[in-house]
Structure 1
Amino acid sequence: MKKDIFIGILVGLIANAIGLYFAATLLGQGDDFLTVVKAAADEGFLGKLISLGAILNLVAFFVFIKKKQDYRARGVLLITVFIAVFTFVFKLF
């Protein structure tokens, strides 16, 4: 059970990282990833960029639900909630 939740957390983190990369690439207008992330941090929309990256977690969640791997889906959901809280706190400070 704990192993499946941990796998779900890892999948959620990887999906979020890939989604963040795609969002930065699409919205970055040809700039490289680190330049876009630094510009997003300077301009105050890094939290929004991270939230866009979390969209791939939705895909991972529904794949795990479809395969009846509920504990892995729970891990993806936990990391998604953690990312939401992180972006909220990041936006406050």
Structure 2
Amino acid sequence: MIKKDVFIGIIVGLIANAIGLFLAATLLGGGDDFTTVIKAAISEGFLGKLISLGAILNLIAFFVFIRKRQDYRARGVLLITVILAVFTFVFKLF
């Protein structure tokens, strides 16, 4: 049961981050479509910043799970947030 709740939290964290990334790219893209913004972010080196902006929705999911006392699901969201932070840091270095 615990592993299932952590896995659900990981999935919710990934989905929330994907939605946040899409919203950030759409709102900050200046009218371009999503793929154009992502390609420009890769070429200009600010993809990590877009991923970090997308992780803001993970904060909302985390606090919803904490409020509902679903601690293991909140742990999964926190885990995926830390993994994305490490990925962003490594991506920024190379």
TM-score tier by shorter-chain length is: over 0.9
For 1:50 and 1:37, locate their aligned partners in 2 and report how far apart those are by CA, in whole Å: 10
The aligned runs of 1:7-86 (5 Å cut-off) are 7-86=8-87
Q: How many residues align?
A: 93
For residue 88 of structure 1, report the CA deviation from its aligned partner.
Answer: 0.1
The unaligned stretches of length 5 or more in structure 1 are none
**In structure 2, C-alpha distance between the alignment counterparts of 1:42 and 1:52, rounded to whole Å:** 18
TM-score by length of 2: 0.98
Query: Can you give the 5+ residue segments of structure 2 that lack an aligned partner in the other structure?
Result: none
Identity of aligned residues (%): 84
Matches of 1:38 and 1:50, distance apart in 2? 13
Q: Detail structure 1 runs of 4+ shifted over 4 Å in the superposition.
A: none
Counterpart residue type for residue 75 of structure 2: R
Partner of 2:92: helix, strand, or coil?
Answer: helix
Partner of residue 93, structure 2:
92
Structure 1-normalised TM-score? 1.00
The superposition leaves residues 16-67 of structure 1 with CA deviations (integer Å, 9 ceiling, x where unpaired) of 0000000000000110000000000000000000000000000000000000
Query: CA RMSD for the aligned pairs?
Result: 0.2
